[in-house]
Amino acid sequence: MSALLIAGSPSERSRSAALLDAVAQRLSVRGALVDRVHIRNLSPQALLLADFAHPTVVNALDQVARARVLVVASPVYKAAYSGVLKVFLDLLPQTALKGKVVLPLATGGSPHHMLALDYALRPVLQSLGAKSILPGIYATDAQVALTPEGAYHLQDDIAKRLDEAVHVLFTETLRPTPAQVAHSAHFAPVHFSQVRCSV
């Protein structure tokens, strides 16, 4: 099953990207197929001009369409998610997230901006028809600390919340249901005239 990780930071390396990396690692360990969209790598002109025919936009929209689960991560600026993420979400068709499960992630300088997930990002995801939006995970700069080596380290409380979120994603969405397993185990019906017997 497939999960698409959408990086909404304008920076190549960021705390929100570190959260995505942690989710990707946890999903991969469980055997899920993980794909990514780095919005910063899409054509800026195509994004701003809503050029749906541009190859980078076409490919990104196809990735969204194929995924069953989306993990959307963004830094919080001015009490809202990033502008690059906003531009990308504006390009999605109105029902782009129909039948999909979404896990929102965000990072910010202080706890004061955590409501951006519920009051800014969640309504947009709902308007795009998401089947289910899991409780968002917000981390402050202190909870995703930059080490002297230049890597990011997640505090235990954030790591635990990511563990729980990935567990929910996998058990409720990515893992086949008993009904799906039973259906895949059935043979296609065969007409009686095609039955051959040997004695």
Query: Is there a contact between 50 and 18 (Cβ–Cβ < 8 Å)?
Result: no
Q: Give the pLDDT of the chain (199 residues) as one tens digit per residue.
A: 689 999 999 998 899 999 999 999 999 998 889 999 999 999 999 999 999 999 999 999 999 999 999 999 999 988 899 999 999 999 999 999 999 999 999 999 888 788 888 999 999 999 999 999 999 999 999 999 888 888 899 999 999 999 999 999 888 776 654 554 444 344 445 444 555 554 4
Superfamily of domain 2-194, CATH level 4: Flavodoxin domain (3.40.50.360)
What does the H/E/C string look like for 47-72? Answer: HHCCCCCCHHHHHHHHHHHHCCEEEE
E strand or H helix that includes residue 157: helix 156-169
Q: What residues contact 166, with CB distance under 8 A and at least 6 apart?
A: 23, 26, 27, 30
CA gap 92, 4 in Å, rounded: 14
The confidence score (pLDDT) of residue 176 equals 53
Give residue for tokens 């080490």: 147
Say how many Å lie between the first and final Cα of the chain, rounded. 44
